[in-house]
Structure 1
Amino acid sequence: MTDEQTEIPMTDPLEHGLTITINQPWADQVGPAGVDAYVRALVDLAEGYDGEPAGEVEQRLRDRLDTDGVRLADPSYSRVAEQIAVAGNDLCVVGPDGAVLHGRLPHPRPHHSTADPEHPDRPRFS
């Protein structure tokens, strides 16, 4: 091992787009139709995103989900809108069971550390 500190590159979230994972308690609360309405709203907003401010995206999300009878926790509206405004059209939605409901699951660059058995600086016997 060397005395030098190795800089580990951080994965840029914009490099991989936006991944939203739906949690099981919320999915149970809104049911399959609510989950489907939520996914369709996210997809439509992301695909239609054209650089408008996050506040406008938030209002469109609220209006769309209100029409579909789906409720989110208040902070979730602004958080999702901000994420769409940052990531734009590159969206992946993952269900509570890990299944990809829309888009493609991003594959971040591999992260290697000395905990990785293949890392060259890992002690032979630990």
Structure 2
Amino acid sequence: MESWRDAASQRAQEALDGLFGTALELAEQQVGKQGGFAPFSLSMDAAGEGSIEMADEPDTAKVFEVLWAGLRAQRDDLVAVAVVADVQIDEDGWTDGIRVEAEHRDGIALAVVAPYRRKRLRRRVELGQFGLSKGERRVW
């Protein structure tokens, strides 16, 4: 089976790896502190500089479109983007997950779901086996 890395440039791999790492780290921190997190987006420009945006949208049904629309509006200045959400799952005893949908301007779109459990005693988070799938192109 062909890996997404076989079709991606080194630049695209590094950008997406960076976004996935940052997304999971930030989400994990928020789960440890607050038990969950609100959806947010990450973006990276050609210089490798990143930014984080929180949607100012109380309607959860609209929050994802607001985040994706914001990224589309900036697409000429960006090389990679991601939207991160706290999701409910039902997978081998796991009930919560961190979903990261990421896209690179080269045409690669991926989705990762990392199951998690909150360890209540020390505000730590246990991550399960990540699931990777083809994502939907929404920005480029």
Shorter chain as denominator, the TM-score bin is 0.3 to 0.5
Q: TM-score normalised to the size of structure 2?
A: 0.31
Greater strand proportion: 2
Q: TM-score normalised to the size of structure 1?
A: 0.33
For the pair shown, the structure with the greater C-alpha radius of gyration is 1
